[in-house]
Amino acid sequence: MCDTLRMVTHLQIDEDLMHAALKLSGHRTKRAVVEEALREYVMRRQQLEITELFGTIDYEEDYDYK
Segments forming the whole domain that contains residue 27: 15-51
pTM strictly above 0.75? no
1 within some domain: no
Handedness of CA 4, 45, 13, 11 (dihedral sign): positive
26 within some domain: yes
61 within some domain: no
8 within some domain: no
65 within some domain: no
46 within some domain: yes
| Interval 8-60: pLDDT, tens | 999 999 999 999 999 999 999 999 999 999 999 999 999 999 888 887 777 77
State the SS3 of the chain. Answer: CCCCCCCCCCCCCCHHHHHHHHHHHCCCCHHHHHHHHHHHHHHHHHHHHHHCCCCCCCCCCCCCCC
36 within some domain: yes
Which pLDDT score is estimated for 2? 56
Q: How many domains does the chain have?
A: 1
